[in-house]
Chains A and B, each alone.
Chain A
Amino acid sequence: MSYETYLAGEPVIVTAALTGGVHGKEANPAIPETPAEIGAAAAAAEAAGASVVHLHARQDNGERAFPTERFQEVTDEVRSRTEDVIVQHSTGGTGASVETRAQPLRTDPPPEMASLDMGPLNRYDHLTSENTRATVDALHDEMQDRGIKPELELFNDGHINETHQLLERRDLDDPLCATLIFGSGTLTRPRPRNFLNAIDDLPEGTLFNTLGFGPHQLAFATMGILFGGHVRVGLEDNVYYERGEIAESNAQLVERVAGVAETLGRPVATTEQAREILGL
């Protein structure tokens, strides 16, 4: 993946991270929380150009939910309201056990993809989402058993090392899919040279997604498009459309980045193209 990929005009896969589990309607009332709301948001995001939806489940009051049954409700709503979108479940979960975090992998059918957090991430002042190597291996192994493609979430450069090491411990199918995450705190500092170093350091042939948190979402998505990568946008990662202006919906963020990709000469991938590129 490189500038040559950009010049070749290869399609861009847009992933929509619809809800997350950290902030909720207290931050932006448009964040979908119930299964029905998440299903409707997925349909609108798909219509706007997303071919992958990254899903978390919540209780009706917005609080995090990990049980398979709740993920089943969410995924059923998404599948019934969308045409053919690729479903990706989160296995993230600060403070939750591996067993709890594996629950989203056990829906019927299983998700086509699932996120795999590649190392520690600080939360608030006294917490760390640990994501030990043992946790990574256990979640990876269950994904492999269930035929789920992992989406490796790299919170910082150290997690690129972790990715190389995971490949020494486990056989992952090609292409390897990794999301490079930029923002504050434990995340890679959002600067263009850090982005360039990161894409150079990834294992050969890695297909990368670019994710900038908050105000960095559009800028880093644009860099991802220019350097042959793919993009993730959505209210999980950014509740604003512009500085001081709350985003109206996930679809609004998807539509904007799809417009950037098209303007720069890379078509937005159809779901069929996305499946082929991702090797699903």
Chain B
Amino acid sequence: MACPYLAYRREDAEHSFDTDRAYCTAAETFVQPMRADICNDRHELDHTTDCEIYLEADE
């Protein structure tokens, strides 16, 4: 299951994109595409163990 802090957005104060992109509501920033695989628990990745931002936000 995807991280509860994950959202898909097209823009923030600094960026504007043509498509919705992975945005972290905990860090309040667009995330790198590779990190988006962690946010979505894709492949062998798991946000509850692999993302330091999630671990810190969840404390």
Contact = CB atoms under 8 A, between A and B. Distances in A.
B32 A24 contact: yes
Nearest to B34: A22
Contacts of B19: 60-62
Interface stretch (A90-98, A110-118, A226-234): A90-98
Interface in A14-37: 21-27
Given A61-B22, A63-B22, A125-B52, A97 B32 contact: no
Contacts of A61: 8, 17, 19-22, 33
B42 to A, nearest CB: 8
Nearest to A58: B33
Interface in B3-29: 8, 15, 17, 19-22
Given A26-B21, A97-B43, A64 B34 contact: yes
Given A124-B35, A126-B49, A95 B30 contact: no
A62 to B, nearest CB: 4
Interface string A65-106: 000000000000000000000000000011111001000000
B50 A100 contact: no
B58 interface: no
A24 B44 contact: no
A123 interface: yes
Contacts of B33: 21-24, 58, 61-64
Contacts, number: 71
Contact of B15 (A26, A95, A125): A26
B44 A126 contact: no
A63 B37 contact: yes
Contacts of A26: 15, 21, 30-32
A201 B22 CA distance: 42
A127 interface: yes
Interface string B36-55: 11100011110001111001
A63 B2 CA distance: 15
Contact of B32 (A22, A93, A95): A22
Contacts of B42: 95
Contact of B50 (A93, A96, A97, A124): A124
Given A22-B32, A26-B21, A61-B21, A95 B37 contact: yes
Contacts of B43: 93, 95-97, 100
A94 B44 CA distance: 9
A24 B15 CA distance: 12
Across the A-B interface, the 6 shortest Cβ-Cβ residue pairs: A125-B52, A95-B45, A26-B30, A96-B43, A62-B33, A24-B33
6 contacts: A22-B32, A25-B17, A26-B15, A63-B37, A124-B35, A126-B55
